A and B are shown apart, each in its own frame.
Chain A
Amino acid sequence: MSLVLALCTALLFSLGTWLLLQRRLTRIIIGLGLIGHGANLLLLLSGGRRGVAPFIGQIGERTPADPMPQALALTAIVIAFGVTAFLLALAYRSWQLTGDDLVEDDLEDRRIAATRSTASDEEVADQRELSAAEAALESSTGGAAPLEEAE
């Protein structure tokens, strides 16, 4: 019983991690959901063996289940639910703005990576032209390749 659940936890964590490494936000959200379920299952498993419902006066001779991890898992589920809803809203907003839910690169980082020295203002101005050209190229080809070409 416990071994099956432990394997389930491992499977959920590994599948979730694989989905997290994708570029599309919808996949990332599903991945986060899976990892979250894995963590909740882990919480539930941490309570030890199964038992009867832990109500006072109804336990008798039998061993009760540990109610604490269940309470913790419920809290974690509710929190994950709220945050997932927020992430979905964010993905929808991204789709509204860009027509896509790909996670974009940090443009400022790319701009700085393309700069050799950042001292003078002229160079920064050059950089701005370069990145504008780069953005134009990128929108036509849609890849990271134009960066080298522009250099």
Chain B
Amino acid sequence: MMRVLLPLPVVLPLFAAGCSMAAARRRWLQRLIGIAALSACVAAAVAILLHADREGPAAAFMGGWDAPVGISLVADRLTGLMLVVAAPVLLAVLVFATGQPGTEKEQPAFHPVYLVLAAGINLSFLTGDLFNLFVAFEMMLTASYVLITIGGRRDQVRTGMTYVVINLIASTLLVATIGLLYAATGTVNMADLAGRIGHLPGGVRVAFALLLFVVFGIKAAVFPLFFWLPDSYPSAPTAVTAVFAGLLTKVGVYCLIRTQTLMVAPGDRPIGFMLAIAALTMVVGVLGAIAQNDIKRILSFHIVSQIGYMVLGIALFSVAGLAAAMLYLVNQIVLKSTLLLTAGIVDHAAGSSRLAEVGGLARRHPIVGWLFLLPALSLAGIPPLSGFVAKLSVIDAGFADHAWIAVGVAIAVSILTLYSMTKIWGGAFWGEVEVVAEPSDAMSRRYGATAPMLASTAALVVLSLALAVFAGPLLELCQRAAADLLSPTAYISAVLP
């Protein structure tokens, strides 16, 4: 059964992308195809997670070749969890895009490219082969290159260049790392690598650990490799920024977790280095956010800052730390997408997302106010919202491992996060009503946005509230997943029986 189920989250969006391309002249058909394919992905992802949680890691081999020669797709608890969170976010953002005037309506390429992006993201989570991971990244990134420059405006071309070039360098570095790993071990299958890498000399093992950290660190936007992110994300269309913010950097974090636990032996893990990077990422990200005056740019710097918390959790390499990092990852995927979608609604309702140009939105459109307030407070870690649970578990894990400095930084940064959330709230939602341009349709003038935009954002807010309500079972699931990661025998024997 898993032979059919595992490739579905990749194959379905890809097939739908082809169909969507053929239906380029009929926008309603493209929407139908996209929403149907991504809804099916949600179902497939849930089935994969349930199977992985009940019966342990499952593997499927593509093209009739067994591992380590053929490409293997592997689903353990971490993969299942990532798929389950990514799928509804992808779906909600697509629904948001259909309700937003602009990109989706004007560009026939939007739907096919978006579906390829979804397939690439899902493949990165599923693949058990390092070279296939590179291919998955390229699928995802090539789609993102198109999406980030889709309007062809001057600022998009400028930021698109930085984005494409920096990602290409990271990809080339990944290819070089894969080449070196193959030369040293003779395999690119992750499970096989996990067994063979231990036989290498110590210096070479540490070099590989650091190379993999740098490669995925660029994708995850950790300090000092984050500079491309706040520059490029805000200029893309809102729906695109939301999915990038929610998922692309998080794929990098997922790969960090996967490679650092599976392919780096416990003695070789760069723990102190990663803790320092985590603390610097948190601080520099949040300080950057405080200096900004545009909602989208503030949130983009917060993406960087929040990555630090996840790296902190990973760097502890304990069950509690990894579980906390995963819980944080899940939370951030939902929260960041929601917040950027609300930024898009602000942009839509008031004609600008610059704090100096908009104001009084909470009085004008109370619904939009609530849609921003809940995820913003959650991001800052206010109880009882989901961000609080995630932050608490990271800090708790840090205490358990005596990482005092990093924990202190994490607490200070969450206060600064709250400050910059209140800055957005005070600038855009309170005060005198200020608008640059009114939206044209009646629904938007009354409620702030069109029905699909409000519904999809509200659905994500509900999802983030659900994460708080079901935090207990979710944390237990994360702990089981973390225990799997730290003793990956089940993962390896699923791929290499």
Are A83 and B138 closer than 8 Å at their CB atoms? Answer: yes
Q: What is the chain A residue whose CB lies nearest that of B134?
A: A76
B interface list, Cβ under 8 A from A: 131, 134-135, 138, 142, 145-146, 149, 152, 154, 157-162, 164-165, 168-169, 171-173, 175-176, 178-180, 182-183, 188, 231, 291-294, 297, 354-356
A interface residues, how many (CB within 8 angstroms): 43
Are B179 and A46 closer than 8 Å at their CB atoms? Answer: yes
Are A86 and B231 closer than 8 Å at their CB atoms? Answer: no
Are B154 and A86 closer than 8 Å at their CB atoms? Answer: no
Are A46 and B183 closer than 8 Å at their CB atoms? Answer: yes
Residues of B within 8 A of A48 (CB): 183
A interface list, Cβ under 8 A from B: 20, 25, 28, 32, 35-36, 38-40, 42-43, 45-48, 68-69, 72, 75-76, 79, 82-83, 86-87, 90-91, 93-94, 97-98, 103-104, 106, 108-109, 112, 115, 118, 121, 124-125, 128
- The smallest C-beta distance from B176 to any residue of chain A, in angstroms, reads 5
Residues of A within 8 A of B175 (CB): 36, 39-40, 42-43, 76
Query: How far, in whole Å, are A83 and B175 apart by their CA atoms in the complex?
Result: 15
7 A-B pairs with least C-beta separation: A46-B183, A124-B356, A43-B179, A42-B179, A39-B175, A46-B182, A46-B179
Residues of A within 8 A of B172 (CB): 32, 35-36, 39
Are A45 and B183 closer than 8 Å at their CB atoms? Answer: yes
Residues of B within 8 A of A36 (CB): 168, 172, 175
- Main SS of chain B's interface residues? helix
Query: With A72-B178, A124-B356 in contact, is A108–B294 under 8 Å at CB?
Result: yes
Q: What is the chain B residue whose CB lies nearest that of A42?
A: B179
Query: How far, in whole Å, are A93 and B155 apart by their CA atoms in the complex?
Result: 12
Are A124 and B180 closer than 8 Å at their CB atoms? Answer: no
- The smallest C-beta distance from B473 to any residue of chain A, in angstroms, reads 40
- The smallest C-beta distance from B66 to any residue of chain A, in angstroms, reads 15
Query: How far, in whole Å, are A92 and B188 apart by their CA atoms in the complex?
Result: 37
- The smallest C-beta distance from A76 to any residue of chain B, in angstroms, reads 5
Chain A CB within 10 Å, residue with most, of B131, B297, B354: B131
Q: What is the chain A residue whose CB lies nearest that of B139?
A: A79
Query: With A42-B179, A86-B145 in contact, is A28–B356 under 8 Å at CB?
Result: no
Q: Which of A20, A45, A98, A106 contacts B179 (CB 8 A)?
A: A45
Are A75 and B131 closer than 8 Å at their CB atoms? Answer: yes
Residues of B within 8 A of A75 (CB): 131, 135
